[in-house]
Structure 1
Amino acid sequence: MDHTESSAKAKERSVLAQLAIGVGVPIALAIVLMVLSAVLHGRPMAEKMARGLMLPCGVVWLAMLAVAVGCFTQRQRVLGVAALCAFVVHGLFGGDLFGAWMCSQLESQFPMVDPKTCQRFDMLIVLGGGTKSSGPDHAALSFAGDRVAMAVRLYHAGKAGKLLFTGENMPWDTERLSIAESSQRVANELNVPTDAIENVPGENTYQEFQHLKETVDSTQRIGLVTSATHMPRAMRLADSVGLNLVAVPADFERDEPTPFPLCLIPSASGYRRTERSSIEFLAAIVGR
């Protein structure tokens, strides 16, 4: 009986020790990251680190590490390796380091344009995605709003004669302003006159470029405004339909570096960067 009780207690202690290790390692990592953030950047950065670790992406990241450590302590090596790989992949794709590097590979292909010193454009094609609408009378800038902002800045600097906005609603989405209409409304509110704006029909960029190929004067100097990460694909598409455009990239991601060690923590913004750049690389692979 005593032997049985001692064996049970020993097993219980072993389980508790394994649990403590499984939980303790992620907690220790979190503490190290917060202390390192405080030492390198001060208390505000440590608070940002703590917040990032408590958000869903951060919690899942630490949970994956806890599962990996727990599996290894119980000698379940296959599951441990799988959980550890998931921890690494989640941190890689969700952290800002990898996403920022991928974005920089795309954005470095075309230089920034200075609205004050650049050569004048007869017209600017502004690809949709810079505005949004939540109703028939509401328009606002979206996450890629720098597209519209860049076009408006060039217009007011006297470097753009006309703005051509793209982006139609899908057939099932008729209750809101189209992206082109939203862009026009925002531009109007920023003192761009209606007679300097034209909306381009088409359900996708290819259709829009085909329409422009048939309607614009090829002897004019025409700029293309879109997000810097999207610019390589957009220029390839323009070339494929015979449009001679000048790249005017906007919405640069590389100008927003996340400091170490916060850049190691997976986040929604990190995944957004990785996703945006991955779409562009995949498009290049399939010849788009």
Structure 2
Amino acid sequence: MIYLHKILPFLFSPLVITLLLVVYGVFRNKKRYSVAGLILLYASSTFVVADFLFEKLEGKGLKADAKDAPRADAIVVLSGMMSPVQGAAGPVTEWSDADRFFAGIDLYQAGKAPRLIFTGGVLPWEKTSQSEGAVLKAHAQRFGIPEASISVSGDAQNTAQEAVAVRAMLTDSKILLVTSAFHMLRAKQQFERQGFEVSAFPVDFKVRANAFTPMDLMPDPRALGLTDVVVREWIGRLYYQLSAWMRPSGD
């Protein structure tokens, strides 16, 4: 199921749809399809489009300061900020985006909860000897967080499994949930489904604060990557909505 969950967004990515339209147009001698594909690729590769779409995911929320967050029983930091790479002695992990980690550290040091929980994110195709949560725990200890205050959930392959894994280890109900702003709506729903009272602490905002410039109309692979993330998140939200509709609450 996890493979299907990851493959479906890929099939609907702007790059794949563009390729299908262009190939169809060439082989069927229908230029309008090829042109439509190229227009889609251009639009998806501009920051004008990427920022507009991402703002719909992130909403109008602003990056908050840890000192302004409410108190909770635990701080829960979701996985998804590290990637496995090949090291001299075998596979190791490197940061891809550390915002979630540092937000969890800031919240703990601000006294917002006595417990810091990292989810045990792990994917079957990744060559790692331990979950992302275990790696993050070690990093948190280097920042002076007592080991007794840090927990790592059981292994999880997606957001729904993360929520279930945290519920299995935490009987308290109030949590501060830390994840990327575009991912927060879906994550919050999954943790509330497990009976948690969730206070959202979104980070990793993608919508830029820059004023518009003509460069925003130029194709940029970074913008295409953001548009692809939008498509993946839309599909993820639809998947979980359908799952909730098909299963009664609490299953």
Q: TM-score, normalised by structure 2?
A: 0.73
Provide closer, same or farther for how the CA distance between residues 282 and 138 of structure 1 changes in structure 2, counting only shifts above 3 A.
closer
Q: Which one-letter code corresponds to 1:84 in the other structure?
A: V
Matching residue of 2:170: 216
**In structure 1, how many angstroms separate the alpha carbons of the residues matched to 2:105 and 2:127?**
27
**In structure 1, how many angstroms separate the alpha carbons of the residues matched to 2:155 and 2:203?**
22
Q: Is the 8 A contact 1:133 1:177 kept in 2?
A: no
Provide closer, same or farther for how the CA distance between residues 151 and 216 of structure 1 changes in structure 2, counting only shifts above 3 A.
same
Matching residue of 1:248: 201
Matching residue of 2:136: 183
Q: Which one-letter code corresponds to 1:196 in the other structure?
A: S
Provide closer, same or farther for how the CA distance between residues 192 and 245 of structure 1 changes in structure 2, counting only shifts above 3 A.
same
How far residue 272 of structure 1 moved from its aligned partner, in angstroms, is 1.6
Matching residue of 2:96: 142
**In structure 2, how many angstroms separate the alpha carbons of the residues matched to 1:255 and 1:217?**
38
Partner residue of 2:114 out of 146, 153, 161:
161
How far residue 229 of structure 1 moved from its aligned partner, in angstroms, is 0.3
Q: Which one-letter code corresponds to 1:191 in the other structure?
A: G
Whose helix proportion is higher, 1 or 2?
1
How far residue 83 of structure 1 moved from its aligned partner, in angstroms, is 4.3
RMSD between superposed Cα atoms in Å: 3.0
Instruction: Tell me the secondary structure at the aligned position of residue 111 of structure 2.
Output: coil
Matching residue of 2:192: 239
Q: Is the 8 A contact 1:109 1:232 kept in 2?
A: no
Matching residue of 2:55: 104
Matching residue of 1:23: none
Provide closer, same or farther for how the CA distance between residues 280 and 214 of structure 1 changes in structure 2, counting only shifts above 3 A.
same
The structure with more radius of gyration: 1
How far residue 159 of structure 1 moved from its aligned partner, in angstroms, is 2.3
Q: Is the 8 A contact 1:224 1:246 kept in 2?
A: yes
- List runs of 5+ in structure 2 lacking aligned partners: 1-14, 16-21, 23-28, 243-251
Partner residue of 2:105 out of 143, 148, 152:
152
How many percent of aligned residue pairs carry the same amino acid?
Answer: 25
**In structure 1, how many angstroms separate the alpha carbons of the residues matched to 2:83 and 2:72?**
26
Partner residue of 2:151 out of 189, 198, 209:
198
How far residue 259 of structure 1 moved from its aligned partner, in angstroms, is 4.2
Q: Is the 8 A contact 1:146 1:251 kept in 2?
A: yes
**In structure 2, how many angstroms separate the alpha carbons of the residues matched to 1:82 and 1:171?**
37
Q: Is the 8 A contact 1:147 1:225 kept in 2?
A: yes
Provide closer, same or farther for how the CA distance between residues 158 and 270 of structure 1 changes in structure 2, counting only shifts above 3 A.
same
**In structure 2, how many angstroms separate the alpha carbons of the residues matched to 1:147 and 1:194?**
19
Q: Is the 8 A contact 2:179 2:201 kept in 1?
A: yes
Q: Is the 8 A contact 2:91 2:127 kept in 1?
A: no
Q: TM-score, normalised by structure 1?
A: 0.64
